[in-house]
Amino acid sequence: MRAVDAVMECLKAEGVEVVFGLPGGANLPTYDAIVSGGIRHILVRHEAGGGHAAEGYAKATGKVGVAFATSGPGATNLVTPICDAMMDSVPVVFLTGQVRTELLGTDGFQEADTIGISMPVVKHSFMIQSPPEIPRAIHEAFHLARTGRPGPVLVDIPQDLSRAEIQYEPVTDVRLPGYQPRVEGNQKQIRQAAKALASSQRPVIYAGGGVVNANASQELTEFVTSDRFPITCTLMGLGAFAAPHPQWLGMLGMHGTRAANYAMDEADLICAVGARFDDRITGKLSEFAPRAKFIHIDVDPAEISKNVPAHIPIVGDAKHVLAKLLIEYRAIAADPTRLDAWWSRIEGWRSKYPLTYEDSADSEIKPQYMIQALYEATGGEAIVTSDVGQHQMWTAQYYHFPKPRRWVNSGGLGTMGFGLPAAMGAAVGCPDQLVCCVAGDGSVQMNAQELATCSENDIPIKVFIMNNGYLGMVRQWQELFWDRRYSAVDMGRFPDFVKLAEAHGATGMRFEDKRTLVEDFKRAIATEGPVVVDVRVTREENTYPMIPAGQPAREMVG
């Protein structure tokens, strides 16, 4: 059969049911194979939209997402989604077309060095050099994407090689001797961690997106509740431990709660699970958690001690390690009263510094209230995606995620334009779930064209635009750190989002009164098909609390 027909067989063998993509000259053979390939294809309006949709699909379902693009600009348009997937450990396989082998290196039409361009931001990449190697490369790509620390894998296929006839034989085993991720964790180190936790007076469990990736939410919950351990999650880890809960301190980091950040600052032992101590968590690294020793559990050995030296390093998958840690900890029978003073300290912070804001006295919609209204209207049961900015932080603060894979956002790369296509992908992967996108008026315009994709494919996402007329987070920084010298942050009067929605075949709505907002949101959610809701909120509201960039947690403001 043709190599591209073999690609379809490989995708089906990997359980792929849907791909997102856009055809072009170099990947026309692939699209010819799709005609009878038995896989659903979602035609996106921009390759970046397709890449982010594949990410949203992967994050919401736990399966490997797939995106297609042609050579040259098609492939370069995928660089941002590829980098985004790398930063957030998202399993996505990207299949790109390439010019014919005879044109490689000639600067032929739509030629680009896709492998070279993407090399720094992929987990691995394959440049196909002979047709018979294509099936095994596809299966290896999926194996690499989903195992160990998940991530993006790129397969670049020259057009003439994709059309070649090959003797196709199903690949039933994938063996990569040089790639053997460690998942179980060292038993001696796990036992040391249990002893350290049992003797600590001020412990904090710090969980990240690795817990979600490992499907380890149940194991995390069982371990945390085996004693009175305080727990906090990163932006990417929200939902790994159900909120609200008496032991839940809220999110930590730059816009986390004071209770979570102060607890990290005064802890004597921090147990990090599937988290990487990035700068949004640590603030000023030299002053981060000065009293603490660190247990660091991560499937990627490169992350352990990269930013913060680990006293007890454990390389392994969170699901396996937490299950073993629970057994070891229960065998110790630690004294729970040792944490009384610690919880008294934490409760003091909770009482003195609750997560709050000054509500409007009239009908004006505060952005924080918008998120609270959305939480009430959805009953907390929606899959929520977001773009990047103030709206993202307010959603993280005020929408309480009860389960993993309900919160889909761009963390490490901070990609504006992520939310809408990610919602599209999540809705395709979870058709029985309500999927809401919380967007900013700036970021939503970066991939608004995918509304047409949703309308054409009956993908009923609900997009809630927090419209303050500014690039809000940049404006906030200019207010606080640049003496209010606003530069290029006013978004002006356009577009009319209701008309924009209607032009793309969606329903457009505009709400400006907080007194009816919950019922308005319920009406939007009940409306069939894709819906865009323009919510006019307070123009110059700041996201607090906040750790100024480069400062320690104890210097929080707001």
d(CA 153, CA 91): 8
Residue 558 has what pLDDT? 86
pLDDT along the chain (558 residues), means of 10: 97 98 98 95 98 99 98 98 98 98 97 98 98 98 98 98 96 94 97 98 98 98 98 98 97 98 98 97 95 98 97 98 98 95 98 96 98 98 98 98 98 98 99 98 98 98 98 98 97 97 98 98 98 98 95 91
Residue with tokens 């504006």: 416
C-alpha dist (Å) from residue 209 to 54, 216, 277, 318: 18, 10, 12, 10
Q: Pairing relation of β-strands 383-386 and 231-233? A: unpaired
d(CA 7, CA 33): 9
CATH topology of domain 187-352: Rossmann fold (3.40.50)
**For the domain with range 367-536, which CATH number is right: 3.40.50.620, 1.10.290.10, 3.40.50.970, 3.90.226.10?**
3.40.50.970
Q: Counting runs of H as helices and runs of E as strands, what totals does the chain give?
A: 22, 18
Degrees to nearest 5, angle at CA 184 with 180 and 190: 135
Mean pLDDT of the chain: 97
d(CA 438, CA 423): 9
**Both structure tokens of 469:** 């007329």
Residue with tokens 């956002």: 409
d(CA 295, CA 491): 45
Q: How many CA atoms lie within 13 A of 50 on its CB side?
A: 28
d(CA 109, CA 348): 65
Q: What is the CATH number of domain 3-163?
A: 3.40.50.970
Q: How many CA atoms lie within 13 A of 176 on its CB side?
A: 15
Residue 464 has what pLDDT? 99
Q: In what order do the strands lie in the sheet with 462-467?
A: 407-408, 383-386, 435-440, 462-467, 531-536, 507-511
User: What amino acid occupies position 112?
Assistant: A
Q: Where are the domains of the chain?
A: 3-163, 187-352, 367-536
pTM: 0.98
Residue 146 has what pLDDT? 98
**Sign (positive or negative) of CA dihedral 175, 177, 179, 181:** positive
If you count them, how many residues does the chain have?
558
Distance, C-alpha 534 to centroid of its chain: 24
Check if 3-163 and 367-536 are the same fold.
yes
Residue 370 has what pLDDT? 98
Q: Are 183 and 50 in contact (CB under 8 A)?
A: no
Degrees to nearest 5, angle at CA 460 with 454 and 465: 85
